[in-house]
Structure 1
Amino acid sequence: MNIGGVRLANPVISAPMAGVTDQAYRTLAREAGCGLVCTEMVSDQALIYGNSKTYTILGTGDEPRPLAVQIFGSNPEYMARAAALVEERGASIIDINMGCPTPKIVRNGEGSALMKNPRLAERIVRAVAGAVSVPVTAKIRKGWDDLSVNAVEFAQILEEAGVSAITVHGRTREQFYSGRADWDIIRRVREAVKIPVIGNGDIRSGPDALAMIKRTGCPGVMIGRASMGNPWVFAEAVHYLATGEIPPPPGTGEKIATALRHLELLVKYKGEYIGVREMRKHAAWYLKGMPGAAKLRDQINRVGTEREMREMFCRLLPGNLTAANDTVMIAVSKININGIE
């Protein structure tokens, strides 16, 4: 799959998610085989005014490429300046957020609020595309609400303005993430434009990814919430699309080893204080469905050091893993609970 001049190794793409898709998460998604990862959304004005926290969201700059950076705003001039800044930082693709439903974003006329103002959205795309040499994409929704479903017309306007690809989330802003995603509107968008359309919404497995492609004709799929605490969904989707087979699910040992690696990466990139606290939400996702997870989650939410959190996770390690899990045991053994290999 190609987005402008950027070639992806496979059509499985990680959705940008605020508070989730930081550099630690992106590392794990890549290791799981994801064809393209994206940063959390970043504010155009925060980039322009040099907000240090915002630049932390972009990562250390040494990540493998391709890397998409998602920016949001409602002022074409500011968005163009912000896009040029992230291109300088090495972005392979610049994605424009036109789908975020959260009140604090839409109140400012940003995110999915732009779907109510297609001419402003067009001006933003033209300004950004004119300011950078890398491909520009946009992530949109079905529409604002059921009375204003305009994804098809909106996508055509963005294509004419210069985007190289469009991701469509099959829900309206009014739905947020409730109900079922409308894959038929994604198909209608795909049929109405000549650029690649990426399908997003309700993809939780390899079979879901293939079903999205078959139902919509999209060349790519984007996975979001299903990957939280579950980077294996990317590996499953890539493998299933290539072979039609579902790989074995991760065992407890592999889940714990990956959670420990996630913790290690968070501490590496953000320091112990922030990394441990940000890991708490990820821990809840990794632990979901495990025996004793509810009690352990409560305990993890009270720990303050990396060592304490490692010890908590290691309590869940099975006493006897089968020979098939020997590689997992090796992975776990390399992550000493003191953080020293």
Structure 2
Amino acid sequence: MTTWTATAPLRLGDRITVDPPVVLAPLAGITNVAFRQLCREYGAGLYICEMITSRALVERNAKTMDMIRFGAGETPRSMQLYGVDPAVVSRAVRMIVEDDLADHVDLNFGCPVPKVTRRGGGSALPWRINLFQDLVRQAVQAADGQIPVTVKMRLGIDADHLTYREAALRAQDAGVAYVALHGRTAAQFYGGEADWEPIAELAALLDIPVLGNGDIWEAADAIRMVRETGCAGVVVGRGCLGRPWLFADLAAAFAGGNQLTLPDLSEVARAMYRHAELLGDWLGEQRGVTDFRKHVAWYLKGFSVPKGLRQSMAMASGLGELADLLGQLDMSQPFPTDVLGQPRGRTSGARPVTLPEGWLTDRETRQVPFGAELSDSGG
């Protein structure tokens, strides 16, 4: 990585400074209290909790209220909301402010999964540009200057229905603190390569910070994105799966350094146990270790693991059992450099976007689709 000049911190109004300008994207089932704490132990940034649906929050759904818990000393407390009805989203933001539930709200207009887009939410919503504008404006008004509101979006529904330019301008006019853009359409899902040119376009177009998202697998990718696009910071998603130490590399890179963390298997095993331990503190040991199972393959990607051991770890139900299994690894193995820069997590390619009937026929309507608001949380 080429050494470069340190970048300026990201400022969200006059209340929050993010230094380095790195944001952890909300990942369903991943970015819970434990994972956020683990990542924060490696490097600073803005760590957003899993996506929360506005209706579930307003109704104080028990699962949702548990999902929005933050760790002791976790600051700033950042929450991402999904919603389609401006009135419901407004009530949710007002509740967050009045009950002091978070310090920052991010609005989700980037989720491409069918259960969200079929209701007109996530990456489908900016197509209904007036509805989008109403939702963002009412969310900012409900925040009443007490907490910053930001938006995260994709390029559009597909190549024939791009929305990012007009949606970003309307979000800026509504008073958001930044716009984050993922360089893929909803139809691309997580396949192919992210297009960074629209990020550069927005960075030149807007007066507020623009953050770039998409294909940041290493700290070098983040620096290249900032250089090529002029964005004010980056949003990291799948690149940190099984690699929380990526945030240490990002912090060093944005400070002008060229650190590349290559932990051997003994260090990776310690990170795995720490992750499971933190999940156990949050959920209870059995539930925590069970939740950790999905992370095993990400942590061990590229390492040589005895036959059946990876599967046994993915079935562990206690910290003692996990520790015994980790002890069977060849701890002397160096980090497998051939996995650097490679996609992690979801890699699903292009697919048709599921939309409400008639969604594309009337872009100007402010009508909220029937049954649009989900009553449970998670993307």
Same fold (TM over 0.5): yes
Selected match of 1:99 from 107, 110, 115: 110
Seen in structure 2, the aligned counterparts of structure 1 residues 283 and 124 have a Cα distance that, compared at 3 Å, is same
1:243 aligns to 2:256 (yes or no): yes
2:148 and 2:42 map into 1 onto residues whose CA distance is 25
Mean alpha-carbon deviation: is it higher for 28-37 or for 86-95? 86-95
1:42 aligns to 2:52 (yes or no): yes
2:147 and 2:306 map into 1 onto residues whose CA distance is 44
Structure 1 ranges of 4+ moved more than 3 A = none
Secondary structure (helix, strand or coil) at the match of 2:234 reads strand
What is the TM-score with the length of structure 2 in the denominator?
Answer: 0.81
What is the TM-score with the length of structure 1 in the denominator?
Answer: 0.90
1:182 and 1:201 map into 2 onto residues whose CA distance is 8
Render the CA deviation track for 1:233-278: whole Å, top value 9, x for unaligned. Answer: 1111221222341334112111111110000000100112321111
Render the CA deviation track for 1:114-170: whole Å, top value 9, x for unaligned. Answer: 121121111111111111120000000011100112211110011111211010000
**Aligned-pair distance for 1:84?**
2.3
1:153 aligns to 2:162 (yes or no): no
1:3 aligns to 2:16 (yes or no): no
Between Structure 1 and Structure 2, how many residues are aligned? 321
Selected match of 2:140 from 121, 125, 129: 129
Seen in structure 2, the aligned counterparts of structure 1 residues 275 and 149 have a Cα distance that, compared at 3 Å, is same
Seen in structure 2, the aligned counterparts of structure 1 residues 60 and 39 have a Cα distance that, compared at 3 Å, is closer
Is this contact kept in 2: 1:196–1:218, CA < 8 A?
A: yes
TM-align CA RMSD: 1.7
Mean alpha-carbon deviation: is it higher for 243-252 or for 25-34? 243-252
Which structure features the higher share of helix residues? 1
1:243 and 1:310 map into 2 onto residues whose CA distance is 37
Secondary structure (helix, strand or coil) at the match of 1:21 reads coil
Is this contact kept in 1: 2:264–2:331, CA < 8 A?
A: no
Selected match of 2:25 from 1, 5, 15: 15
Is this contact kept in 2: 1:80–1:131, CA < 8 A?
A: yes
Spell out the pairing of 1:284-323 with structure 2 (5 A cutoff): 284-292=297-305, 295-316=308-329, 318=331
- Counterpart of 1:57, as a letter, is M
Selected match of 1:109 from 111, 117, 120: 120
Is this contact kept in 1: 2:178–2:208, CA < 8 A?
A: yes
| Equivalence for 2:156 | 143
| Equivalence for 1:71 | 81
- Counterpart of 2:92, as a letter, is A
Secondary structure (helix, strand or coil) at the match of 1:173 reads coil
Structure 2: give runs of 5+ residues left out of the alignment.
1-9, 335-379
1:193 aligns to 2:206 (yes or no): yes
2:154 and 2:306 map into 1 onto residues whose CA distance is 35
**Aligned-pair distance for 1:320?**
10
Structure 1: give runs of 5+ residues left out of the alignment.
322-341
Seen in structure 2, the aligned counterparts of structure 1 residues 25 and 191 have a Cα distance that, compared at 3 Å, is same
- Counterpart of 1:190, as a letter, is A
2:85 and 2:323 map into 1 onto residues whose CA distance is 45
Render the CA deviation track for 1:35-65: whole Å, top value 9, x for unaligned. Answer: 1100000011111111111111112453421
1:294 and 1:16 map into 2 onto residues whose CA distance is 33
Selected match of 1:282 from 295, 306, 323: 295
2:34 and 2:94 map into 1 onto residues whose CA distance is 25
